[in-house]
């Protein structure tokens, strides 16, 4: 089994369109949307959900007003300023303390130190994980609740589930639409992956993002390839990005030209390669390069 994670320095580089096309081109694959903060692969692959489950990334504290004596200890020790003296009265005191659920980081310290045992500390549901069927094969995806965090943990769960399905069904490729940026979710997206493809654009911020993301993949020792999307918008910068990529030990897997047909494909919920256009040829070449590298690795050949 080969796990390819497609990432970008920021959102909006065309990463998801490329993942959807790879899913359409691979004979058999499991596809996973690990960009849980802004999941949109489902818009193209139109999955039919066959399994859903709640995801809990941790616990959160809640004061039970009836038991609170308003001693103030919890407010004093909460390092996240999540506790305020504006809760309802309870017959013993005029006001009690209250925890802001958005500000609470779920450390549990307040519950541990409350002498009255007035603080409930219980797991919360942060989102949902789905296993679906699509026209390109099984898909694992997730939805994080509004203002919920712990997406790194959810990303790991999405990847683990996708790999388990691939193993069960004897599927060779696991394609992961990774989180953008360089934070916790992208680290969870790439840790332990076989290959990473960085999708970037020919802009100065694209060049800068490439440097930051490649530092990350180098740190984790992951075989990394680069693709410049909409390369013909700035040929000089594309060459500079590709030179930079090679200098940093990455392989340039291909270029995809700017093509208005890509937007038309998106409007019709199609992958680029499902819509006849010039960019589709570029994506086919890109996939064939990546697949060739994956096959070489399968046979123990390092490039």
* Alpha-carbon gap, residue 42 to 36, rounded angstroms: 11
The answer to the question of residue 63 lying near ligand SF4 (CB under 6 A) is: yes
The answer to the question of residue 58 lying near ligand SF4 (CB under 6 A) is: no
φ/ψ region of 282 (left if φ > 0, alpha if ψ in -120 to 50, else beta) reads alpha
CB of 111 to ligand SF4, least distance (A): 6
- For ligand SF4, the binding residues in 129-188 under the rule CB under 6 A are none
Interface mask toward ligand SF4 for 245-274; x: CB under 6 A: ------------------------------
* Alpha-carbon gap, residue 17 to 280, rounded angstroms: 11
Cβ neighbours of residue 1 under 8 Å, at least 6 residues apart? Answer: 163, 166, 167, 171, 172, 173, 174
Q: Of the candidates 167, 232, 199, 179, which has an alpha carbon nearest to the alpha carbon of residue 32?
A: 179
* Alpha-carbon gap, residue 172 to 15, rounded angstroms: 21
Rule CB under 6 A: choose which of 7, 45, 68, 158 binds ligand SF4. 68
% helix, strand, coil for the chain, step of 5? 40, 25, 35
CB of 116 to ligand SF4, least distance (A): 4
The answer to the question of residue 124 lying near ligand SF4 (CB under 6 A) is: no
**Residue 52: enclosing H or E segment and its boundaries?**
strand 48-55
CB of 125 to ligand SF4, least distance (A): 17
CB of 82 to ligand SF4, least distance (A): 4
Cβ neighbours of residue 285 under 8 Å, at least 6 residues apart? Answer: 254
* Alpha-carbon gap, residue 175 to 30, rounded angstroms: 6
Q: Which is nearer to ligand SF4, 120 or 274 (CB)?
A: 120
Q: Which is nearer to ligand SF4, 116 or 274 (CB)?
A: 116
The answer to the question of residue 72 lying near ligand SF4 (CB under 6 A) is: yes
CB of 187 to ligand SF4, least distance (A): 23
Strand partners for 87: 96
Return the structure tokens found at 119: 């603080």
Rule CB under 6 A: choose which of 25, 29, 39, 82 binds ligand SF4. 82
**Residue 239: enclosing H or E segment and its boundaries?**
helix 235-247
Q: Which is nearer to ligand SF4, 75 or 285 (CB)?
A: 75
Interface mask toward ligand SF4 for 103-122; x: CB under 6 A: -xxxxxxx---x-x-xx---
Rule CB under 6 A: choose which of 10, 56, 58, 69 binds ligand SF4. 69
CB of 80 to ligand SF4, least distance (A): 4
- Binding residues with ligand SF4: total (CB under 6 A): 26
* Alpha-carbon gap, residue 26 to 29, rounded angstroms: 6
The answer to the question of residue 213 lying near ligand SF4 (CB under 6 A) is: no
Q: Which is nearer to ligand SF4, 93 or 233 (CB)?
A: 93
Q: Which is nearer to ligand SF4, 49 or 125 (CB)?
A: 125
Q: Of the candidates 153, 179, 171, 164, which has an alpha carbon nearest to the alpha carbon of residue 131?
A: 164
Binding site for ligand SF4 (CB under 6 A): 61, 63, 68-74, 78, 80, 82-83, 97, 99, 104-110, 114, 116, 118-119
């Amino acid at each position: 089994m080969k796990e390819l994670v497609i990432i970008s320095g920021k959102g909006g580089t065309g990463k998801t369109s490329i993942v959807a096309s790879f899913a359409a081109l691979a004979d058999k694959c499991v596809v996973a949307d690990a960009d849980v903060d802004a999941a949109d692969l489902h818009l193209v692959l139109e999955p039919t959900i066959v399994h859903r489950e709640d995801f809990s990334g941790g616990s959160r504290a809640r004061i039970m007003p009836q038991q609170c004596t308003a001693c103030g200890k919890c407010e004093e020790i909460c390092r996240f300023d999540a506790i305020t003296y504006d809760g309802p009265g309870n017959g013993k005191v005029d006001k009690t303390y209250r925890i802001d659920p958005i500000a609470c980081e779920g450390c549990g310290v307040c519950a541990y130190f409350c002498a009255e045992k007035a603080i409930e500390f219980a797991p919360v549901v942060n989102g949902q994980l789905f296993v679906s069927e699509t026209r390109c094969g099984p898909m694992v995806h997730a939805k994080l609740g509004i203002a919920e965090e712990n997406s790194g943990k959810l990303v790991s769960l999405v990847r683990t589930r996708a790999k388990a399905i691939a193993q069960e069904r004897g599927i060779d490729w696991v394609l992961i639409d990774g989180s953008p940026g360089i934070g916790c979710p992208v680290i969870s997206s790439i840790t332990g992956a076989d290959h990473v493809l960085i999708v970037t654009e020919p802009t100065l911020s694209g060049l800068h993002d490439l440097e930051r993301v490649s530092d990350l993949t180098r740190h984790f020792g992951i075989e990394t390839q680069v693709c410049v999307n909409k390369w013909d918008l700035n040929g000089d910068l594309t060459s500079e990005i590709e030179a930079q990529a090679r200098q940093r030990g990455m392989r340039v897997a291909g270029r995809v030209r700017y093509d208005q047909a890509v937007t038309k494909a998106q409007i019709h919920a199609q992958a680029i390669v499902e819509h006849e256009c010039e960019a589709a040829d570029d994506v086919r070449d890109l996939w064939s390069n990546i697949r060739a590298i994956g096959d070489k690795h399968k046979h123990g050949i390092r490039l």
